[in-house]
Structure formats: structure tokens, C-alpha cells
């Protein structure tokens, strides 16, 4: 199964107020494992960068001044996304900005049915707890020490690990490749199982009741008052 984990950075909170997408980071998962395929781009927002937004992600208008417009990269992004489900933290926010940019570029909007929101997942799994990306990384033991400011690709990487843990967990980077290779060679990956001696075959024992047990059962049934089966047609 192919899934896309993604995050965006913007000039503000509402695309309807003229705010724009300035960064997107996408990570491909195949069967809940990172495939190594990513998409990352910065975009010129065609407007100023509010100080409060820059304080969050550190992207100045000077830095973005030589970056391409969203419309320049839109086809490459659409190709990478394909028709896979798309996972984001507070996904309605990211989908809103992406669809606003797609509309400007005269491309079809993303189907909201593809959206998977890890905030909504966290609310169901941990009601009453904090559901920020930082708080959930702490809860699940995901290292975020290198996260000084928000960044789309970095946050998508953290979210990929978080999503994997929230949907059952994988031992990321802890020998899964070696185990898969061992399985492909027909060997046993579990050393405990490999060392265990073979068990002797035992014939299955009979489970039928003997004559004495049947007699005791009949005596017990005879003492029942108004059993339901007497009312059956």
C-alpha cells in the first residue's frame, strides 16, 4: 500500500485571506515503511512574509526570492502524489492550502476522501492529552532534538515515524532489513526460535465424554425447571 506523508509551511493561517504556500515536504511510505522517495520544494509566495510566520519556520522573503512559483512545480508534485492516501497533521489546514494553490494553477483539487489526519487519530487514541506534533513525538519516544524550527520535510519525517507508531508500530531502523533478507533466504530470523529443540509429536487425546459423565449430565438436565428448549417448536 502506498501512502504519502506530507507537511506544508505557509505565510499565514488562511488561504482565503491571501496567504500562500511556501514549502512542501512529502515522504512516500510503502506498506508502512519509508521507501526513500521524497518530494521537497520551496515556493516564492508572490507576497510579503509576515513576521509571525517567519518566526515559526524561519523562511524569509529574501530566502524565497529566487525560488520557483508553485505553478512551475505543480505537475511534478501531482505526479509524485499520484492517487495515494495523504497523511498530514491537522490535515484540513494542509489540504486547504494545497487546493488553493492547485486552483490558482488551474489544476483539479485534491479529493478530500484521500485525507488522513493524525490529529484526529490522536484525539481518538489519547483523549484529553496534548496532540501537537512535539507532544506526540514525546509520547511515542521519537527523537525531535534536531527540530529547532518548523520545516516541511523535517516535520514530514517526524510525522512518518509517528504515523507508523500510531497505526501499530514498526521497529524503524532496528534490523527489519536483515530480518527480511533472512526470510528471503529461507532462514529463521528469530534466534530464540532457531535455538529451540524440535518438539516431540503427541497424538491428540480423545475429548468425548465417557458413560459416567453422560449419566451425570443427564441427571443435571433432569433437575432443570422450565428449560428454554422445551418451548421450541
Q: Which residues are annotated as a binding site for a divalent metal cation?
A: 7, 9, 155
Whether 137 contacts 131, CB under 8 Å: no
Distance separating alpha carbons of residues 103 and 109, to the nearest angstrom: 7
Three cell numbers written together for 208: 468425548
What is the phi/psi pair of residue 91, to 5°?
Answer: -65, -30
Three cell numbers written together for 98: 494545497
Whether residue 126 lies in the annotated active site: no
The sign of the dihedral angle between the CA atoms of 56, 62, 64, 69 is positive
- How far CA 126 is from CA of 135, 142, 205, in Å, comes to 11, 17, 47
Q: The cell 529463521 sits on which residue? A: 188
Distance separating alpha carbons of residues 61 and 50, to the nearest angstrom: 9
Q: Which residues are annotated as a binding site for substrate?
A: 7, 9, 52, 57, 155
Distance separating alpha carbons of residues 71 and 6, to the nearest angstrom: 19
Distance separating alpha carbons of residues 52 and 49, to the nearest angstrom: 8
Choose, from 126, 150, 217, 230, the residue flagged as catalytic.
150
Q: Which residues are annotated as a binding site?
A: 7, 9, 52, 57, 155
Q: Which residues are catalytic?
A: 150
Amino acid at each position: 500500500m502506498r501512502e504519502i506523508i506530507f507537511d506544508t509551511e505557509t505565510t499565514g493561517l488562511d488561504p482565503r485571506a491571501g496567504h500562500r504556500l511556501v514549502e512542501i515536504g512529502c515522504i512516500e511510505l510503502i506498506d508502512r515503511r519509508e521507501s526513500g522517495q521524497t518530494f521537497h520544494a520551496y515556493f516564492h509566495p508572490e507576497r510579503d512574509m509576515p513576521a509571525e510566520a517567519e518566526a515559526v519556520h524561519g523562511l524569509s522573503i529574501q530566502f524565497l526570492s529566487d525560488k520557483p512559483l508553485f505553478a512551475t512545480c505543480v505537475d511534478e508534485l501531482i505526479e509524485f502524489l499520484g492517487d495515494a492516501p495523504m497523511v498530514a497533521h491537522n490535515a484540513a489546514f494542509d489540504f486547504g492550502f494545497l487546493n488553493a494553490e492547485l486552483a490558482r494553477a488551474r489544476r483539479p483539487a485534491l479529493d478530500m476522501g484521500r485525507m488522513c489526519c493524525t490529529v484526529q487519530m490522536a484525539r481518538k487514541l489519547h483523549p484529553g492529552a496534548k496532540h501537537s506534533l512535539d507532544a506526540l513525538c514525546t509520547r511515542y519516544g521519537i527523537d525531535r532534538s534536531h527540530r529547532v524550527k518548523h520545516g516541511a520535510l523535517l516535520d514530514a519525517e517526524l510525522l512518518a515515524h509517528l504515523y507508523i507508531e500510531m497505526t501499530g508500530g514498526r521497529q524503524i531502523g532496528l534490523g527489519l532489513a536483515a530480518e527480511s533478507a533472512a526470510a528471503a533466504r529461507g532462514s529463521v530470523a528469530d534466534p530464540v526460535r532457531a535455538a529451540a529443540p524440535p518438539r516431540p509429536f503427541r497424538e491428540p487425546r480423545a475429548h468425548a465424554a465417557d458413560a459416567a459423565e453422560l449419566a451425570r449430565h443427564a441427571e443435571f438436565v433432569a433437575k432443570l425447571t422450565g428449560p428454554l428448549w422445551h418451548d421450541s417448536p
